[in-house]
Amino acid sequence: MIVPMMKLSLLIFYKEYQTFLGELREKGMVHIHENTERTAEDTDLQAKLMLIRRTGEMITHMQSRNDVEQVEKVKVDDEHLLDYLEGLYSRQDQIEQQLAGLEKDHAAYRPWGRFSREMIQKLETAGWEFHFFSVPEQKYQPEWEEMYDAVIISEMMGQKYFVTVTPAGTSVNLEADPYLFPQATAEELAKQITALREESVNIGKELDAVSQDAIERLKKYRLKITEVADKIKVEDAAQHLIDEKVIALEGWIPVEREAEMRSFLETKDVYFEFTRPTPEDDVPVQLKNNAYSKLFEPVTEMFALPQYRELDLTPFLAPFFMLFFGMCMGDGGYGLIIWLACFIIGRKASPSVKGYLVLGQYLGIMTVIVGLLTGSFFGIALDSVEWPWLAGVKSLFLTEANYGKYLGGYNPMMIIAVAVGIIQILYGMCLNAARLTKQFGFKYAVSTLGWVVAIILLGVLIGLPMLKVVIPEGLKYVLYALLGLSALTIYFYNSPGKGIFSNFGSGLWGTYNMATGLLGDTLSYIRLFAIGLTGSILGGVFNTLAFQLTDGLPFIVKFIAVFLILLVGHSINFGLCMISSFVHPMRLTFVEFYKNAGFEGGGKQYAPFRKKVND
C-alpha cells in the first residue's frame, strides 16, 4: 500500500532558520518539496551531485579489485582520497596509452632482428650508406642484389624486408617502400616498456591492498556529501518573504507521524500547518507492505514507483511473479538448488541483502512445487523412468501423456499458462477499476467492470459448450441479460459526462483495442509453458549425452566424464533458465499486467531530510 501523506507548511524567522534546519534534520521525518528550477541552476549543488556520482563510480571500481591478504590503509585524508584514487587510475590509463605507442614502435624493429645503430653510423662515416626497404614478395627483384648489394633480412606476412649497402652518394631508386625507424633504439624501447609495465603492476597492487579501506571511507564520504547536497536542496526550496526576514518551507510527512511532528513543532518558535494533499500536489511515495509483499518491492521499483493517487500493485503482482518464475524455471532440482543456496547464504547475510535471499527461497520453493507437479527433476522426466517407488504417482504428473487426451491433445501446462494469463489480465482490469474509483469516482470504473463481466460471460457461454457442458436454459437467459447490461455500460457509459454518440464511438474503439489487445496479451503467457519446457528438455539432453557419450569407458573414467558433462551442461542450462525466469515474468508484469491495470507510474520516492552520517 501507499502510505498516506500530510502536507506540512512552515514559516521560520531567518535568525532561527539554520538552527531549526539542523533540528529538523535530526528528526528525519519531513520530505522537503524540491524547487527543481533552483536546484538545476545551483552550481554548488550540481558540483556536489557530480562529486557524489564520481564517488559512486570509484566505489564500483574498487569493489572489482582483487582480494589480498595484506590489507593496507590509504595514507590520504578523506577530502583528498577520491582525487588520489582517480589519479592512480588516470596514471594507469596513461600507461596503457603509452605502452600501446611504445609496443607499436618496438614492433617496427621485429623484421630486422638485432642490429647496432652505432655500427651503422661508423660504416656511414667510412663512406657507406644503408637504406632499409619493405616490398611485397612478388614485387621483389633479384637484380637489386647485384645493383645495390641488397640483402634480404626477413620475410613476414607476404612482405620482404631488405637493406641496400651502397657507396655514399649513390642514388637508390627502387619500387619499394622506405622503412623509417623510431627515434629510440629497440633496447631503449624495451626498457621503457618494462618500466611502465612494472609501474602499472605496482599501482594495481597498491589499489588491491587499499581497496577495503578505500571502499569503507568512500561510502562514508559519499554520505557526508549527500548530507551537504540535501541541505543545499532544502535551502534552494526555501522561499524568502517579508524582506527576507521570514523563510517558508513546504514538505511531506506520513500521516502516522503527524502527531509526533506536531509535538516537536509546538516547542519551536515557528508557524506550521498540516493540510491534506490536493490533486495538483506532487506527493512523494512511500510503500508499506506486509513481510511477504515487501520482498517484491524491488520488482516494483525496478520499473517505476506508482503515483501517490494510484494503487500500489506490489501485493497483487507478488503471487503471480512467484508462480511465473516457477513455471519458467520448471525443474524441481534447480528449485532445490536455489532454495538451498539462498537459505545457506542468508543465514550470515547482511540485512541489506537478506530480503533478496528470502525472496530467492520463495522462488526456489515455487520452482520445486512446479517441478514436482510436472515431473521434472534435474532434467529427468519422472513419468518416463521405471522406478518402483514412483509407480503410484506417475499418472498424476501434469504431462501431455497423462492429460492430453482430456485436453484435445494439448499439454496441460500450456492450458494452465493461458488460464493464468487470462486470470491475471482480468485481475488487472479489476485493479484498474479500483484505481479509477479511487481517483475519479465509481462511475468512471463502470465501463471497465463491464468489460470484465462481459469477458467472463463470453468465456462461460462459449467455453462450456465446447467442453460439452450443458448450460440450463434459464441460466443461459440470465447470462445473456447480464451480457447485454455489460454491453450497455461499455458502449454508452464509458465516458461519463459526454454525449451518447461520443460514448458509442469510444465504445467501438475500445472494442477494437480489446479484441486485438486481449488476444495478444493472452498469447504472451504461452511463453511460461515454452520456457519451462525448453529448460526441462535441455536438461534431459545433457543427461542423455553424459551417459551415451561415455558408454563403454572404464568405470573410473566414465564416472569422471559423466560428472563433468552433467556439471557443465546443467550449469549452462541453470544459468539460461535463471535469466529467462527473471526476464519473462518481469516482461509479463510490466507490459501485460501493468497495461491492463492502468498503471501509470512516475512516483517520487519519499526521502526525508535526515542525517546520514553519525557524528
**Whether 340 contacts 368, CB under 8 Å:** no
pLDDT exceeds cutoff 90 at 180: no
d(CA 246, CA 243): 8
pLDDT reported for residue 369: 93
pLDDT exceeds cutoff 90 at 365: yes
The closest of 11, 4, 12, 8 to 30, measured between CA atoms, is: 8
- Grid coordinates 504431462 are at which residue? 399
Here the cell at position 440 is 475519479
pLDDT per position as a tens digit, 467-512: 777 888 888 888 888 888 888 888 887 778 787 888 888 888 878 8
**Whether 58 contacts 261, CB under 8 Å:** no
Which residues, at least 6 apart from 288, have a Cβ–Cβ distance to it below 8 Å?
Answer: 1, 2, 3
d(CA 22, CA 18): 6
pLDDT reported for residue 614: 66
Mean pLDDT, rounded, of the chain = 86
pLDDT band at 328; cut points 50, 70, 90? very high
pLDDT reported for residue 122: 87
pLDDT per position as a tens digit, 408-455: 788 888 989 999 999 999 999 999 999 888 888 888 888 888 888 888
pLDDT exceeds cutoff 80 at 210: yes
**Whether 322 contacts 359, CB under 8 Å:** no
The arithmetic mean of pLDDT across residues 377-406, rounded, is 80
pLDDT exceeds cutoff 60 at 587: yes
Q: What radius of gyration do the chain's Cα atoms show?
A: 37
Tell which wins on pLDDT, 564 or 125: 564
The arithmetic mean of pLDDT across residues 538-556, rounded, is 86
pLDDT reported for residue 246: 81
d(CA 154, CA 141): 15
**Whether 124 contacts 147, CB under 8 Å:** no
d(CA 399, CA 405): 11
pLDDT band at 335; cut points 50, 70, 90? very high
**Whether 363 contacts 338, CB under 8 Å:** yes
pLDDT reported for residue 242: 67
pLDDT exceeds cutoff 60 at 615: no
Please, how many CA atoms are within 13 Å of residue 507, restricted to the half-sphere of its CB? 22
Alpha helices (runs of H) in 158-185, residue ranges in sequence order: none
**Whether 438 contacts 464, CB under 8 Å:** no
pLDDT per position as a tens digit, 107-151: 888 888 888 878 888 888 888 888 899 999 889 888 888 888 888
pLDDT per position as a tens digit, 70-98: 778 888 888 888 899 989 999 999 999 99
pLDDT band at 361; cut points 50, 70, 90? very high
Lowest mean pLDDT among 168-182, 290-304, 321-335: 168-182
pLDDT reported for residue 243: 67
pLDDT exceeds cutoff 60 at 286: yes
The arithmetic mean of pLDDT across residues 282-297, rounded, is 90
pLDDT above 90 covers a percentage of the chain that reads 21
Pairing of strands 246-254, 239-241: antiparallel
